[in-house]
Copies of this chain bind each other. A is one copy, B any other.
Amino acid sequence: MMLWLFLILPVIISVTSRSIDIHDKSTPKTVSDRLIELVTQGAFRGVTYYRLAALTDTIGPRLCGNESLTQAVDWVRHAMIGEGLENVHVEPVQIPHWVRGAERAHLIQPRIAKLSMLGLGNSVGTGPNGIQAPVLVVRSFDELDIRCEEARNKIVVFNPQCDWVAQPVGCYGPVVAYRAGGASRAAKCEAVASLSRSAASHSIDSPHTGMMNYDPAYPKIPAASLSVEHADMLERFQQRNQSMEIFLYMEAHTLPDVVGYNLVAEIEGSTLPNETVLVSGHLDSWDVGQGAMDDGGGAMISWTVLSLLHSLNIRAKRTIRCVLWSCEEFGGIGADQYFTAHENEVPTMSIVMESDMGVFHPRGLEFTGSNKSQQIIQTLSVQLQSINATQILPGGGGTDIDPWVERGVPGASLLNDNANYFAYHHSNGDTVNVFNSTDIDLAAAVWAVYAYSIADLDNLLPR
C-alpha cells in the first residue's frame, strides 16, 4: 500500500459513510455552522488528528535539510492532490543543512554520569576527541561578565531562573536568550563550550534543543542544552565547592544548503480569486520527538481548512491559500523566501494566519491589525459561540508570517490553552500524545471559520 494512502483513507471512508447525516438537515445553516458541524460531528471528526498521527508516526520528525522533510512534503502533496484540492504545488527554497551527528555529555567529576543533553541547531562540533574541561555555572550574562576571567578554558553552564509556574509561556523569551546567544558570550570569555538550561516549563530530565547563533566577533564554540535537573545539579556542585569536570562530544556540523519546498494548496475565490487569505503552519520540526506539536498540528489544521471547504463544495469570494512552510526552525527560512517571491501580493493579501503555538483546546484568535479590522474580527467571532471560542487577544503573528505583518498585512494566530507548550517544545516529548482529537477538531473549526469568513467579506480587511 502506498504510504500516503494512510492519510486520505479515513476521509474517503467517513465521507462515504457519514456525509448523508450532514447534508439532509432541513433548516438552512450558515457556512460557519456547517464547517463547525462537519469537523466536530461530521465526516471530518477525528480526521485532522488521524492525519497528524499518521504523518508524524510514519515519517517522524522533519529536520530542515533532511530527507524526512522532503518525504513529508511529498506525502501531504500527494494526499492533497488525491483529495482534489486546487493548485497544489511546491515552491523551492534554499535551506540550511545542519547535521546533529552523534553527541553525548558526561559528568566526569565529582562522579561519572551521563548528562541529559541535546546539541543546539547551528552549533559546531567538538572535534573527534571531544572537550573535557572544568565548569563554571552562571545564572545570567551579567554574572558571566563579572566572572569572565573564571570562565577561561572552562565549559560555561548558563542556568537562568524564571518562575515558569507563574509564566508558563512568558518565561520562554528571557530563558531562551541563553540558548540563542550563550555560546558567543562564553567564547568572549575564552570558554571552550557552552551549555544552557533547557527552556522548559516542566521537565522529566528532558533536554530541549533549538536554534543558536554565533556572534562573528568571537570563536565558534560548541553549544548544547542540558535538562533543567542537570543544570541545577551542576549549580549545586558549585555551591558546595565540589570540583566539576565535564566531557562533551558533538559531531555537529553544517553542510551546504539544500533545496527545500514550501507546499501550497488553494480553494480559489469565486469572485475575487486574486485576493487571498493565507492559512499556514510549518512542516519542518526539530529532529526529536515527532514534531507533532511544533508544528505538525498547525500545519494539519491549515490543511483541514481547505479539506472542509472542498468537501462542502464551498468557495469564498477570495482565494484561501494553505502554505506549509519549510525550515521555520532555523529562522523562518522558507517563509522569508516565499515573502520575497510574493511581495507583490501585499496589497491583495487580506490576512496572514499561522498556527505555531499548539492546537490545544482553542479559545479564539490572537490578532494584529488596525482598529477597524479588529472590530470586524470581533464581529466575526460570534460565529464561534457554539464552541465557546470567541476570545480575541492582541499579538497575532508568527515567525513565518511576520514579514507580511511588518508590511501592514493583518496577522492572526490560534489562541489556545497552551500553558504546557514549553514542557514539550523542541524535546522528545513533542509527540501526538500532547493533543487530543476533540481539541484539534475544535482548533480546525476556529481556523476554518475565520479563514472562510474573512475571505468572504465584501472588502479586504482594512489596514
Residues of A near any B CB (own CB < 8 A) = 1, 3, 6, 53-54, 57-60, 110-111, 113, 116, 202-206, 228-229, 232-233, 236-237, 240-242, 289-290, 423-424, 427-429, 431-433
Contact = CB atoms under 8 A, between A and B. Distances in A.
A229 B60 contact: no
Contacts of A3: 110
Contact of A433 (B53, B232, B429): B232
Contact of A57 (B54, B237, B423, B424): B237
A166 to B, nearest CB: 15
Contacts of A229: 289, 429, 431, 433
| This chain's copy number in the assembly | 2
Which of A110, A206, A233 is packed against the most chain B CB atoms within 10 Å? Answer: A233
Given A202-B204, A204-B427, A205-B428, A233 B57 contact: yes
A54 B240 contact: yes
Contacts of A424: 204
A423 B423 CA distance: 13
Which of A110, A229, A237, A290 is packed against the most chain B CB atoms within 10 Å? Answer: A229
Contacts of A111: 58-60
Contacts of A237: 57
A363 to B, nearest CB: 21
22 contacts: A1-B241, A54-B236, A57-B110, A57-B236, A58-B110, A58-B111, A58-B242, A59-B111, A60-B111, A60-B113, A203-B204, A203-B429, A203-B433, A204-B429, A205-B206, A205-B429, A229-B289, A229-B429, A229-B431, A229-B433, A233-B431, A233-B432
B429 A240 contact: no
A53 B228 CA distance: 15
A60 B114 CA distance: 11
Given A242-B6, A428-B204, A228 B58 contact: no
A54 B424 CA distance: 29
Which of A111, A290, A427 is packed against the most chain B CB atoms within 10 Å? Answer: A111
